[in-house]
Structure 1
């Protein structure tokens, strides 16, 4: 009798295990449908910045430092605002798709374009007056002069990023972001070939490197416009609508909340680069620090792919009304991203002494980068989980809460710690990096606590209330109903 009971228990445990494996496999399939193309697209598109830095770095140390200042501070500032505001679409489109309010997704994207385009025009002077701004901030005069010329090349790249980000969020919410990966996969090798031709063969210097990036970045945007407007999204894109100009104020408020949340993260590195610019040997410090940041940021494109997946999966399930599925999706995406992060942690520990030579021929810069390799590896490990939690926040619509978390962790803990360790100890650039890690670590722990204690049934109710408040009648359905009547 006892033997039969034991057999039943074992069979029950086996069935539970098989069921769990099936659920994990099913969720992983949904996860990678979003994360796979998102990762490939982000690696390719950010890789263009890395390739450009590599070509400019071999032109000269001053040019490398100038490019680093513009990309990290000015572009980081403007794109932080624009990308952050566009992140409101991750909440709205993801939840609308889950609730089958497909016609609203195109309207949400048009509203986002109106709000973000107006913002982009307002912040355009940052690029136009880059040299006096950087001089005012106390940066080296020679570097600031070179940065002013490079900043003008970043104007079309800023507008490219605006459209690329919004359309990517629109497409990934409906599991159609494979087109983004294909287009990015074409533009990346094109940029490498163009850069080699214009810089190495035609000796066009910085203008050749930046011109190549402008051409290569706008290629995928042209393809995305053709895909969306050409009829490949029939349910979610019904053409331009007057409804895009209604309910703009709620869109502005959600966009600003998203913008503040993301900006505070993206500006964190910019502030630290600015701090590095005040050191005695600013050219070496900025160059080394920016190389490390570009390496970690390029690798960060993988966790950012999982950020997109976490946002889409959580938003879809909340829009669908399934709290348990949302919680399970968070567990699967977190475990997957962390596992990949551990692999890169080991890889960067092993390659830390040689990786800098891809970006600069300077032995001094290479030594500085090598000394930061251990900290770089720990940053990679932390970055494997923190973006996923940010994606969960976007999917659930917690932008305002996370904005306050970011202020405390980054600007009350991280930056003051980095400044203190840099200038009050002998750690120099290492001190800045340690401060950065402290801020990210605290933020990660806080977000884990918030996610773990969340009432997900309540989040389902909030998502439903938000969608119903903004819902407009579907013109096609209204026409069908009148016809049937």
Structure 2
């Protein structure tokens, strides 16, 4: 069997070389671009819709009162933002393994991988539950006023159901993405956003349920989105990849846990990097104007990040699919296509922001002082977006190569040992203010991008394809042998 596998892989490599040589670059680019957009397009729609969940709810909460808005915003930004970031990152590990197994035509393994991921993420979700329970002392420790911290604790407890919905939503999302079936994620997220608007209007505006009505609406939106995907997967629409619940999911939990933890840390270091920018502005002059202007820029960046993050996921899936199928040259070509496409979009957005530089803040505020600060920061925002159009794609490549641990270390060094200290130096010592802080952090992102480019450049794609094929065969043979054991 092993000899037959080697022969088939050799034949695949030969067939791959022949096909690549016989087709021109433009044709191959269009074919690969179609495969990428099939995943990324639905991913962008899904991310924009789910980003809209808290934004829609926050808009209704803003009409309840400033005190309630402050508590809601702090919980969603700090508590939910931190915990969901960990769970999203841990879900990336599932996407890596599912993509490889699907490319290797081990479709039955996807359902087992997902169940294994559920076990790991449920355990982790329970472990970090104290963050929701002890929100008040945590926020007071961070310097929040007592009254806001007390109300935030009540809001946080109402977010616990939503917290557990993330476990299933993000894993189901990765499971479907690896099969290029994430159109259901886009459809369910859009439906969830629609329900959120209707429920917010009913519970807050019509039935006067206040802040708790908003939280009920937000929980229902997330659970509705998740349940639609769960029904799609388990009720017959994924017959090749979902074979029902299996005790085999409990095998090899430890390797899965290590990969999931590395992915979670990797993404959290990424998500929290630019949030440090807000914390570092506390000692600057005109801090109120700066704090009002920064969220405008960061909100624009967050919405724009739906595009490169979708390419991160699609690149990870495509690289995993092709390496799992024993086609390293196609995996490399997928990286090229994804990088060119995402960079082109980033360049277009850079041009758009520079063209609208004087108009950006007017959408969000009437304050002339805030508008002037946003005008000055728009150039840094534009170049950050351009840089972030390339960097997530490279992260997607490393995820497809199962190198989350290396990326986590790179993030620690480039972000928190280069970017943050350099930003503090420029902003506070050289008195460049918020522009200096942001410029320093851009330098950290730049160093990280070059480090990732070096890793991708130095990758032995043929050797990696063999390693992944061996790992997939090992997992599959383990499950098959256990399934054939006599009771």
TM-score (norm 1): 0.87
1:81 CA displacement: 1.7
1:332 CA displacement: 0.4
**The 10-residue stretch of structure 1 (469-478 or 186-195) with the greater mean CA deviation from structure 2:** 469-478
Check conservation: 1:53, 1:359, Cα contact below 8 A. Answer: no
Check conservation: 1:73, 1:273, Cα contact below 8 A. Answer: no
* Correspondence 1:183 to 2:188: yes
> Take 1:384 and 1:412, find their aligned partners in 2: how far apart are those partners?
23
> Take 2:21 and 2:475, find their aligned partners in 1: how far apart are those partners?
41
Deviations 1:282-338 (A, max 9, x none): 665545333322221111011111111100110001001111000100000111111
Q: 1:116 to 1:418 in 2, by over 3 A?
A: same
Candidates 223, 228, 231, aligned match of 2:228: 223
Show the counterpart of 2:165.
160
Count matched residues: 466
Show the counterpart of 1:80.
85
Candidates 329, 332, 342, aligned match of 1:327: 332
> Take 2:212 and 2:481, find their aligned partners in 1: how far apart are those partners?
50
**The 10-residue stretch of structure 1 (372-381 or 52-61) with the greater mean CA deviation from structure 2:** 52-61
Deviations 1:178-204 (A, max 9, x none): 111111122223333444555556665
> Take 2:90 and 2:294, find their aligned partners in 1: how far apart are those partners?
28
> Take 1:356 and 1:198, find their aligned partners in 2: how far apart are those partners?
31
Show the counterpart of 1:447.
452
> Take 1:276 and 1:51, find their aligned partners in 2: how far apart are those partners?
28
> Take 2:43 and 2:34, find their aligned partners in 1: how far apart are those partners?
14
Gaps of at least 5 residues in structure 2 are: 1-19
* Correspondence 1:126 to 2:134: no
Check conservation: 2:424, 2:440, Cα contact below 8 A. Answer: yes
1:135 CA displacement: 1.4
* Correspondence 1:399 to 2:404: yes
Show the counterpart of 2:470.
465
Q: 1:198 to 1:345 in 2, by over 3 A?
A: farther
Candidates 265, 274, 290, aligned match of 2:270: 265
1:157 CA displacement: 2.6
Check conservation: 1:57, 1:360, Cα contact below 8 A. Answer: no
Show the counterpart of 1:408.
413
1:221 CA displacement: 0.8
Deviations 1:399-441 (A, max 9, x none): 1111111111111012222333343354443343323322222
**The 10-residue stretch of structure 1 (235-244 or 414-423) with the greater mean CA deviation from structure 2:** 414-423
Gaps of at least 5 residues in structure 1 are: 1-14, 480-485
Show the counterpart of 1:375.
380
Check conservation: 1:73, 1:274, Cα contact below 8 A. Answer: no
Q: 1:189 to 1:378 in 2, by over 3 A?
A: farther
Check conservation: 2:248, 2:479, Cα contact below 8 A. Answer: no
> Take 1:458 and 1:409, find their aligned partners in 2: how far apart are those partners?
28
Deviations 1:244-300 (A, max 9, x none): 111111111111122222221122234333434676876655453333222211110
* Correspondence 1:28 to 2:33: yes
Candidates 102, 110, 121, aligned match of 2:107: 102
**The 10-residue stretch of structure 1 (347-356 or 302-311) with the greater mean CA deviation from structure 2:** 347-356
Q: Secondary structure at the match of 1:87?
A: helix
> Take 2:271 and 2:171, find their aligned partners in 1: how far apart are those partners?
17
Q: 1:211 to 1:396 in 2, by over 3 A?
A: same
> Take 1:428 and 1:71, find their aligned partners in 2: how far apart are those partners?
28
